[in-house]
Every structure is written in structure tokens, then in C-alpha cells.
Amino acid sequence: MIVLVSVVALASCTAEGADYSTYKAKEDIVRGTKYTNTLTHNIDSTKSTARDRMVATCTIETVENGTVVEGSAHKETANPLMECSIFVVKDNYTITEDQINCSALSTNILRNQTSKSVANNGTEASDTVVVTISDGQIVKCPSTITSYKTTDGHAFGTVELSDAKLVSIENTNISEGTRAATYVKTTLRTMYKMALTYVEKNVDTTPASYTVYLTAAATRRVIADNAIASVTVENKNREVIDDNTEKVSFEEVITMTDGEVVRNAKSMILNREFKGIAAYEKFVSNFAFNLANVNGIANGTEAQVSNAEGWTVYGKTDSYSANISNGAAADAFATSYTLYHERANYKDANVEVSFEYVDVNVNEAKNEVSNVNSDKSGYDKAIYDNAIRTSYMGYTQNIAEQVYLYKTARAISGYDYRDAQLVVNDNNVIASVVFVTRYNDGTEETEKVSKTFARSLTCTSNWTAFENNSDQFTHMLDVKLAGQDKKNDGEWAWVNETRTITNIASLASSEQTNSWTSVDPNFITFSRQGQTYTFSEIEFKAVDEEGKVTLSSDEDEKSVFDYSAKVNVTFGSNTISSVAPGKIIVAKEIKGDFPAEWGKFVSAVCTVSHNETKTDWVYAWSLHFENGTLPVIVGKDAANATVDQSLFDTDTNTRFNGAGYKNGKWQNAIAQDNDHYMLWTNTNGSALNTMLYPTATMWNWNNGHNTVFTSDFTFSIENDGKTLKVMKNGQEFASYRASSK
């Protein structure tokens, strides 16, 4: 099969005076796609199941001007699947002798019982074959087919269930060796053989078909006539199944001479069809039709429909009509509905049961005239819709008829526009106009049309600046037209104008740009029937205001100021505003406990240092800064350790100079040489050597850990390295702050 899609015409032309030996017109090219489907089958089956694992191939080729483009072919494959099975509703039941040779009363294929999407662009749909047997048995054959589509939506080859029939019913006597009741004359093994025929579809060759045969079995026990004491009818029932079928049923209750009771279910499917006539055309003088009167239901003639296995079915078609009028006798017409339904009688040697006709109730549900676009030149068209609601044994159906009405049309003399209006709001522009159609009879029809066009003003900046003060001066407003995007939506056309708006905030040491983007619809037109209305151009104007600075937070180290710059955009008569934010951070100089050039705290450790005779000891801290290490000697009974900043006034060399806190006060501590460092052991936390003098040399203390002796002092670095807090036995002992510029 060849399907042409995506038709594109490509052409070139030459300008006047061009060199025709170099340029020539290029023939229009019509492109399409060719699909070629093939299908192979892999069928396997058992007595009660069958499966067809198909392989579907679709070759996809590009076609130009009816010719396949060489090298364009590619293939896609799928694996459609057919699965079917068979089962009986009753696998072990009792019959009378007249039911031994049973037959099919009806065979129906119930289509699309289920349908669902599956992976790989596939659909799984199931049908069910239902065969009703004259002895009350029902045979069912579920059939499921999974089909697929290519990536561009073309259907692969597959199969569909085209026909189903009961091929045979075979009985085998299996009485010997069975333990049946005394009234059972014979036990039969009954085999039901079904033929299901499948035919290919979506293939490019003559569709092939195949038939699978499925077999199901049931055990039937035949009652001996002389074993029956009495036969009665119980559980007589009639029920509606759907719009077209109903079921009548009863139980034939056989009381045996030995007192045992056997119940045989009997049932028959009756058909029903309530419908209206097909739509037809009628030429009238006006469309003012209404229900005039109801004629009611007229009885039809009865005829015998079927006679098999004890059941005789009769059917008749009643009719219902109502008169419809527009005031002109020649234009009147009547609705015409047919109501076909059936009755049934059952008779055998023991019982006779009748299911008579059930009355149908009919009510008018809809009488309505709707004007529609005419499909006949020179005529107006309307559709008359009539609907009735039928009630049958409590089951309701809605049935409808249509009549296509035509009357001579008025001639259009012209078109016009009036009452055009543009309303500009904060977020949109609403354009409206009345479209006028004038007729040659002096009348006119009006239709107000309108459309809402979105507009926006958004801020696109948000800066942060670090300055020595919060001074600012906002100036240099600049508006630029950045783009004009032509749009259309059916009969409407317009241009979205995009503008960039900027101004400059001059700060103490830098300039920051505030920016906005506005999108506004303009040059709006409406076109219909060859007539175009152009709305007035909308004027755009932008004005800015002086920037503002307010203090938002004042901390020890910095002051933060919020900056705002406001712009007012006027579009037509509407003005909207937008504020551009900014932030100015002014840092403060912090005077800490230590020289600023030492930097922030990095870590701190504590150990102990003995004198040379190991008769006394002190705490030995090492405070690590970014640019050096400060040794601190703290007496073992000291209540605190206050920094004496005068020690740093003359010499703050971070390598060898430092301070020691000993005997309740800070002292200068100058290392004797590079070999004198504070040492510790990893086993008991005590210094190995006496610390002659503290040293400020950088050291990777304890492989990066922040303490080596934690029984008394612990240290914590806080505030991003700006604060060192010292705790002794769970209580705050001292707190130090690093200096910053």
C-alpha cells in the first residue's frame, strides 16, 4: 500500500533580466511515504487453545513525484499475537432423552469486549464467541489479538476474527463403569467442536485466512423416562440483556420415583430492535417546526421466527409515530419508529411454558431544530432532531431520527464592522468588534467577536554590590525595541512587541544595571469574509523614578542596604509599574583580640608542659591562625586568659614571636631557635620535653585533629573562623575574636 503524506511543493523562480543559461525554474516536487506490509504466521494449538505468533514487517520508503527515492528505505518489525481458547459453562449436568441430539440455537461474536494499550505502540483487543445450545449449554471462545503501529503511526499487518461456527456435537456413551443414580439411563461424554476463522488485514497482498479448531467437553446424564414421578416448572424468568437481546428461562423440575429431584435449566435468547428511519431531506418554507401530536403505537403482524428443540419463537414489528408541523400543511411530516420484539413458547413431553409479548412504553424525549452550515447552494439548512425514550421491562433506550431541512436562502449584500474597542489591562489587551452581515432583504445579522492578548512587564535584574558606603544615583533610562513577533490565531493577527528597559545605578565604586523586559500586543487586526478591520496602534511610554536605599540589617561586620528602582510603563491608557531590586553591602572594620594579618582561626589544641624536673606543669595551648600559630601558656589554676594586646604593638612576626599566658598574665614569648616546638605523645597526652619558649611556627597538630588533650579544655571555631570559644570542664573559660579589615 502506498500512502502519500507531508506534501511539500518546492519551487524557485528567476528575477527579471536574470541569466537564463545559469538559472532555470525548478520543477515542483511532491513528496510522500510508501508503506509495504508483510506478515508471516507461526501457529501452534492444542485441543482447547490456539496461538499465532506473527512476525509483521513494514518497509518505509520516501516517494518523490511517484518514484521511490533510492536509499530511503528502512524497516520496522513487530510481533502481533493471536490467542484463543474454548470452555463450556456447564461441564456436568442432567438432560432428558429428547435433549440428547441437541443443536446450536445461536452463535454471536461479541466484539471489543476489552481493549487496552500495551507496550511498543500496541493495542490488545478481545472478542468473545458465544454459542447457545438447545439443551441449555453455552459454549464460549475468548479471542485476543494484539496489534501494533509503526513509530509514525502506520498499522502493521495482523489478523482479525472473521467467522465462528459450531462444527459438530458428538456424544460418546460412558455409562459403563460409572456410578450414576438409578434414574440415569445413560451417561454421555459430549464433545463440542468450534471452528474460528481469522483473516489477514493491513497487508499488501490478497489477505490470507486460516481456521483453527477447538474442542471442549461436558458430561451429560440422561434421565430414564420411567423413572420420572412428576415434572413442574419453577423460576420462570425474563430479563433484558442489552439494547438488542433478552433472555427467557425457567427450570424444569423433575421429581424422580425414588424421591430425588433433578433441575434442568431451559433458556432462549430473544431478539429486539427499536429503531428510527434513516435521515432524509425535505424542502420547506420555514424552520419553525414543533411537535403537533402523537399517533402512538400501532400493532404489527406476527410471524414465526424459529422452531427448534422445543422452543418456538414469534416476532412482530410495532410502529410509533408523531406528527411534526411548522404551520404549513405542505411542510408537515411524521416520525416513523419500528419496535420489533419477540415472544417464545417451550413445549416438550412434560411441560409447556409461554413467554408472551411485553408492552413497550414510548415517550417523546426531544424535538429540536438546529441551524447548520448549508451544503446546497442557494439554500439555508437546518436539522430537525426527534428522539423518543422507550421503556421495556424497566430497560430504557434513547432512539433518534433526523430530517435535513432546506429553505431558499437570503442573499448576502455585504459586510461591515462597528463598535470596535481596545481595553488595555495590567496583564492583557482585550480587542472586540461587531461583525455585521447585511442581506438583500434589508435585514442584518451581528456577531460580537473578541480576543484577549497577554502582555507582561518583568524585572530581569537583581544585583549585589560590595561598597564603602551606600551612596547611589539612578539615571540613564534607555528603552529599546528588541523584537516584533508576528502572530495569528484564526481570524486574528497581531504583533508582540518586545522591549528592553534599562537604567544605571551609580554606586560609590561601581555601576550596576537595572533591567526589565516588556511584551505588548500591538497592530491588531481581525479578518473575515475578505474584510479586515485594523485596530488603532497603541502608544508605549516608559518613565523611571529615582532609586531608593533603605537599611535592612546592621551587623558587627557589615551593614546591608536594600536598593530599589521603579519604572512605570504606560501602554495606551494603562500604566503598570515594576521594581528592580538590588543590595549594597558595606563592610565594617572589626578590631579583634589578635593582629589582623594573622587571619582567621583555623583550629586549636591543648596539651600540658612540664618543667625540666617534672615537678610542676602548665597548660600549653596552640592557637592556629590562617597565617601562623600562637602558643599560649595557661596556669593550671588560672581562672581565665585575657589577651594583652600591647604585646602585639611592636613585633607580630608570625613565625617566632608570640605570647604566653603564665602566672596569671600574658608575657612575650620568643622562641630560642627553630628546634624548640611544643611536643606531645599519643599515649598519655603529656609533653615529652619542657617547652623553653612558645613558638608560633605553623604545625599540623595531631594530624589535623583540633585537640590532643581534652580532659580539661575544649575549643570550638565559630562564626566562619572569626570566633574561638574555649570551654573548661563544660564551662566557658575564654572567648577570642580574630580581627578583619
Assess contact for 632 and 660: CB atoms under 8 A.
yes
Q: Measure the CA–CA gap between 554 and 291, rounded to whole angstroms.
A: 85
Question: Which band of pLDDT confidence, cut at 50, 70 and 90, is reported for residue 658?
Answer: low
- Pairing, β 395-408 against β 280-283: parallel
Please determine, for residue 209, whether its predicted confidence score (pLDDT) is greater than 80: yes
Tell me which residue of 67, 82, 184, 94 sits closest to 141, measured CA to CA: 82
Q: Measure the CA–CA gap between 243 and 273, rounded to whole angstroms.
A: 7
Q: Cell numbers of 200, please?
A: 489477514
Please determine, for residue 39, whether its predicted confidence score (pLDDT) is greater than 90: yes
Question: Which band of pLDDT confidence, cut at 50, 70 and 90, is reported for residue 77?
Answer: very high
Please determine, for residue 691, whether its predicted confidence score (pLDDT) is greater than 80: no
Assess contact for 346 and 311: CB atoms under 8 A.
yes
Assess contact for 554 and 562: CB atoms under 8 A.
no
Q: Which of the pair, 142 or 611, is modelled with greater confidence? A: 142
Q: For the CA atoms of the chain, what is the radius of gyration?
A: 50
Please determine, for residue 693, whether its predicted confidence score (pLDDT) is greater than 60: no
Residues in CB range of 619: below 8 A, 6 or more apart: 606, 607, 608, 609, 633, 634, 635, 636, 638, 712, 713
Please determine, for residue 24, whether its predicted confidence score (pLDDT) is greater than 50: no
pLDDT tens track for 568-585:
999 999 999 999 999 999
Please determine, for residue 217, whether its predicted confidence score (pLDDT) is greater than 90: yes
The least confident of 109-123, 268-282, 636-650 is 636-650
Please determine, for residue 731, whether its predicted confidence score (pLDDT) is greater than 80: yes
Question: Which band of pLDDT confidence, cut at 50, 70 and 90, is reported for residue 559?
Answer: very high
Residues in CB range of 94: below 8 A, 6 or more apart: 184, 220, 221, 222, 223, 262, 263, 264
pLDDT at 489: 94
Question: Which band of pLDDT confidence, cut at 50, 70 and 90, is reported for residue 659?
Answer: low
Assess contact for 723 and 717: CB atoms under 8 A.
yes
The 444-454 sheet, strands edge to edge: 412-424, 428-439, 444-454
pLDDT at 92: 87
Question: Which band of pLDDT confidence, cut at 50, 70 and 90, is reported for residue 27?
Answer: low
Q: Cell numbers of 252, please?
A: 424444569
pLDDT at 706: 41
Residues in CB range of 574: below 8 A, 6 or more apart: 424, 425, 426
pLDDT tens track for 287-297:
999 999 999 99
Task: Identify the top-confidence range among 121-130, 552-561, 697-706.
Answer: 121-130
Q: What is the pTM of this model?
A: 0.37
pLDDT at 662: 55
- For 639, other C-beta atoms within 10 Å of its C-beta total 10
C-alpha distances out from residue 121 to 116, 150, 304, 609, Å = 11, 7, 50, 81
Q: Measure the CA–CA gap between 267 and 211, rounded to whole angstroms.
A: 30
pLDDT at 679: 34
Task: Give the up-direction half-sphere exposure of residue 497: CA atoms within 13 A in the CB hemisphere.
Answer: 17
Secondary structure of 50-112 in HEC code, one letter for each residue: EEEECEEEEEEEEEECCEECCCCCEEEEECCEEEEECEECCCEEEEEHHHCCCCEEEEEEEEE
Question: Which band of pLDDT confidence, cut at 50, 70 and 90, is reported for residue 613?
Answer: low
Q: Which of the pair, 627 or 609, is modelled with greater confidence? A: 627
pLDDT at 181: 63
Q: Measure the CA–CA gap between 680 and 702, rounded to whole angstroms.
A: 9
Question: Which band of pLDDT confidence, cut at 50, 70 and 90, is reported for residue 338?
Answer: very high
pLDDT at 684: 30
pLDDT tens track for 1-21:
333 333 333 333 333 333 333
pLDDT at 619: 74
Question: Which residue type is seen at 561?
Answer: F
The least confident of 32-41, 53-62, 596-605, 647-656 is 647-656
Q: Cell numbers of 445, please?
A: 445579522
Question: Which band of pLDDT confidence, cut at 50, 70 and 90, is reported for residue 66?
Answer: confident
Tell me which residue of 225, 197, 191 sits closest to 212, measured CA to CA: 197
Q: Where are the alpha helices (DSSP H) in 221-352?
A: none
The average confidence (pLDDT) of the chain is 84
Q: Measure the CA–CA gap between 125 and 140, rounded to whole angstroms.
A: 17
Question: Which band of pLDDT confidence, cut at 50, 70 and 90, is reported for residue 671?
Answer: very low
End-to-end CA distance of the chain: 83
Give the torsion through C-alpha atoms of 201, 207, 208, 210, to 10 deg.
40
Mean local confidence (pLDDT), 622-643 = 76
Please determine, for residue 395, whether its predicted confidence score (pLDDT) is greater than 70: yes
